[in-house]
Structure 1
Amino acid sequence: MPCLNTLYAILRPESFNEYRLVKFDVVVIGAGAAGLHCAAIAAARGKTVLLLDHAKRPGKKILISGGGRSNFTNYFIEPEKYICENPHFCKSALSQYTQWDFIALVEKYNIAYHEKTLGQLFCDDSAKEIVAMLVSECEKNKVNFSYQTEVLKVGKLDDGQFTITTNKSDYICSNLVIASGGLSMPKLGATPFAYKVAEQFGLRIVPTKAGLVPFTLPPELKDPLALISGVSMPVSISSDTASFKEDMLITHRGLSGPAVLQISSYWNSSENISIDLLPAGDFSAELEKAVQEHPNSQLKTFLGNLFAKRFVDTYLNLINFDSVLLKQLDHKQKNFLTESIHNWKVKPSGTEGYRTAEVTLGGVSTEHLSSKTMEVKSCPGLYFIGEAMDVTGWLGGYNFQWAWSSAYVAGINVR
């Protein structure tokens, strides 16, 4: 039998350094939410695991999430709250590892948490607790870490094993898990690495774009609204295919807030969005009541009882409507105001893009992956998990839950 170095010299691809070779059962690339969880799960099964990342520390996106408190999951996880070419794909993973499983892990570490709204769960203290928990799970199961490590090349040998060439060392493994995320928030180190690996192995990439991201507005809307930036209000906001009822925030660049972030994932650049500024009320009925009871009141005084006063003057200017006495409004004007309040049509000029996007829509097509294991059907031993693939959840802990669930099913199935 030839010596080890000679054997790998025969098997290795060009530039692979057999003298620095390190062998693992599993190599996970990406020390974010999905990568940390997957590495810990695989290592708990007795697998030798290496976790690589180009950053100086793990979990950077976790640390800034939820305003630094990490919206780590949601009580109401459902497959219908995920966007994917195949709407059935996420069902298996979400059922194999549920929100209750991750909550149990959080409780095991005595991390205090609370429900903020709509089932969204946040740490009482800091997102650092979630990162520390995941790192602890890795450490107790003897995961090997390598930070500030640049992956230069990925290859596959004739015997089915994978090779990873880095700026520090060369590795060989039976299972390669890509958990390097998507393109959102490049300041945190986001790269298209996962897509390049996928294309290398012949996988299709669903076109990507920024998701859960603020809208930018054309100058005729942006400039006047910028003067009242900071105004927030409950709205119902709709695109051609979806609708959300949450808060909207006016910013100096455009529109943000939970409602806007949600609808952005469904918006196409050719369409308007419709904003109901009074989703819990009937503007027509409120107006008729005010006309009867306070006919000599100014329109803007009436509107100031429904909306922030800073917003009223700006909005009347935007819809080219003068403030008059309520009794002066005719039937046509009342209908116009009602339509404007309940169906304000806005056409964004775009979004703020990946710079502020919380997630990436699109990614590695799920047609190539097993929904039960996240393994590439045509390439045994290769897995994609988390944001790298074409699965995107709603705002509110859904994307973290996808990270946990997809990581778990990959971790329990690596060989």
Structure 2
Amino acid sequence: MLQAYLVDDELHALNMLELFLNRTDKVNVIGRSINGFEALDALRNIRPDIWFLDIEMPGMNGLELAANIHEVDPDAVIVFTTAYDQYAVSAFEHEALDYLLKPIEMERLSRTIERLNKEKRPSTRQSHLDGMTNQDELIVEVLGSFRVARANGENLMWRTAKEKELFAFLLLDNPVTSAVHRDRIIEELWPDETYEKAKIYLHTCVSLLRKNLRNLGIEQLLSYKNEQYMLDRKRIKADVYDFLAFSFLMQQPENIEIAHMEQALHGYKGELLPQEDYAWVSGLSHRLENFALECIITLSGTYLAHNNGKKAVEAAERAISQSPYEEEAYRSAMQAYLLMGKHDHVLRIYRNLVERLAELHIQPSTVTRQLYEQIRFPD
């Protein structure tokens, strides 16, 4: 039987709602309050299956109460009750299960309860997913694209752009501990909104994200504690995490082998979230791009040290493609072609460099010019 908590400043409305709920034989009313403050006190000790909240109440209205409930219990199911239909849009911004107009009709209330029972009942699809291997694992690609899927290839479908951005922010903002404070999320994702309205939007997006993950068969991936949201990183395989882990290894390059660099760069498919216009992502994106460029140039030099001109050229050309003004990449390509005896390619690379640097009103460095002179005027 469902457990319900009722909040309404009108005692008559409370009594009628409790009477109707009892008549359904599917709901047990475990508490009731005449204002939002009493309800929040009760929330310290209970977690009902469903909250019935009146909207028009003094001190704290139902919309504000819903935001506060979701602050403590992001998965809380809300049904709003009101005599005014102008609140409908605001109600569903809170991801409310339903919106009941007063005077409440028994038939309409029964449909709400039936809907909640259906959503709580495990589906055949869910039972099937529960029996799969790696059922709780999420595969995430954010380098060169943005894709979130189960291990079986089933993609997560986004309902709103902000829900999608929230997931990306939680994934990337704090790669070390994964915990992100609520106010930091609000500051970055809703900088132009009032704090109270931004909190409502955040709760709505959290609810949407949890629901979509649940529909995908992923439970309890997103948690909330001490005003911080966090993803369970142990259940997420993300290309960016692998690349960041390699960046830490590169702090001790003497322990890195060619195979390690090749594997890491194979996973770097391109810019971080290239198709998403997220202002907050630019800093991390630039750091990853610079590190990838550094790795590619280092790899080219390592190939040269092993007299592998062909591989060295491939790495250097990739670096040039990624950063057309990086002189060291051109120089690596020139050295690789020189090793291979392809002097005409050395000249071509040098001319391309000169043209690029001319756009910045600078010339190649002395080291690069000396390398070029070895071709023009060999000993």
TM range (shorter): under 0.3
Q: Which has the higher contact order (CA 8 A, sep 6+)?
A: 1
Which is richer in strand? 1
Larger radius of gyration: 2
> With structure 2 as the length reference, what TM-score do the two structures score?
0.25
> With structure 1 as the length reference, what TM-score do the two structures score?
0.23
